[in-house]
């Protein structure tokens, strides 16, 4: 999904005002069991801009960009993507200092659609990977971007979803049933999912230049 300036919501300025206002009024989240609170937020299907939800994501889920040197397995490879990044770079006229969202980022290096822009065009952004084991590998790469071990919700509220370990995101009952028989031996894991807008509000960034989305068939739901 490509755009020189993707406006994810028609009322971006209003949402940014909500973000700044809610952060000032943000609930105190010190010394709490955030898992229990998150369970309640999931149950109540709170709206994407709920200030408690945003605060929980900001404090307990989103990790800041690394200040350490890159720790890449193949640093000599400038562009590890299978062609997408080259197209984006040319489409955006070699734009510098942009912002990306990379969902389904895997280990943050292999086949990455955002690493080249980060290393050679001084971009930053957020890399999102639902598999906790793979996310651990991603964190070790020391990406200069926010990172998040979660999945993108196909709804406008947070939820806890079931995944098959070792697969990309398998969201919702239809996709779950589709793979259930074929993958009955695979380990099931539960992953917290957030609306994309909640994540962007948590990091205070609503305008993005490049959105790389790889969630195995759930793209339409994520973007709706």
Note down pLDDT in tens along the chain; length 224 residues: 444 334 443 444 444 454 444 444 444 555 578 999 999 999 999 999 999 999 999 999 999 999 999 999 999 999 999 999 999 999 999 999 999 999 999 999 999 999 999 999 999 999 999 999 999 999 999 999 999 999 999 899 999 988 766 544 444 444 445 555 555 556 788 899 999 999 999 999 999 999 998 755 444 444 55
pLDDT value at residue 166? 54
Closest to 103 (Cα-Cα) out of 186, 195, 213 = 213
DSSP one-letter code for 23? H
| Unique residue bearing structure tokens 């510098």 | 96
| Unique residue bearing structure tokens 């945003």 | 54
Tell me the pLDDT tens digit for each residue of 124-180: 999 999 999 999 999 999 999 999 999 999 899 999 988 766 544 444 444 445 555
Q: Are 85 and 113 in contact (CB under 8 A)?
A: yes
pLDDT value at residue 187? 73
| pTM, two decimal places | 0.78
pLDDT value at residue 189? 84
Residues 150 and 160: their CA atoms lie apart, in Å, by: 10
Q: Report the side by side order of strands in the sheet with 146-148.
A: 2-7, 207-213, 99-103, 124-128, 146-148
- The rounded percent of the chain whose pLDDT value lies above 90 is 65
């Amino acid at each position: 999904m490509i755009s020189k300036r993707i406006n994810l919501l028609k009322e971006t300025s209003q949402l940014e005002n909500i973000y700044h206002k809610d952060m000032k009024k943000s609930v105190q989240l010190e010394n709490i069991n955030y898992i229990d609170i998150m369970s309640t937020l999931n149950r109540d299907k709170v709206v994407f801009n709920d200030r408690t939800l945003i605060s929980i994501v900001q404090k307990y889920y989103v990790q800041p960009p690394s200040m350490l040197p890159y720790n890449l397995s193949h640093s000599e490879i400038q562009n590890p993507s299978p062609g997408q990044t080259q197209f984006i770079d040319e489409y955006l006229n070699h734009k510098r200092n942009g912002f990306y969202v990379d969902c389904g980022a895997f280990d943050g290096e292999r086949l990455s659609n955002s690493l080249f822009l980060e290393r050679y065009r001084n971009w930053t952004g957020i890399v999102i990977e639902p598999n906790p084991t793979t996310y651990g590998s991603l964190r070790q790469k020391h990406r200069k971007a926010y990172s998040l071990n979660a999945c993108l919700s196909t709804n406008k509220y947070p939820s806890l979803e079931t995944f098959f370990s070792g697969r990309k995101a398998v969201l919702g009952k239809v996709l779950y049933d589709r793979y259930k028989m074929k993958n009955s031996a695979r380990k099931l894991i539960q992953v917290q999912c957030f609306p994309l807008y909640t994540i962007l509000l948590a990091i205070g960034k609503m305008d993005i230049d490049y959105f790389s989305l790889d969630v195995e068939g759930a793209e339409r739901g994520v973007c709706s």
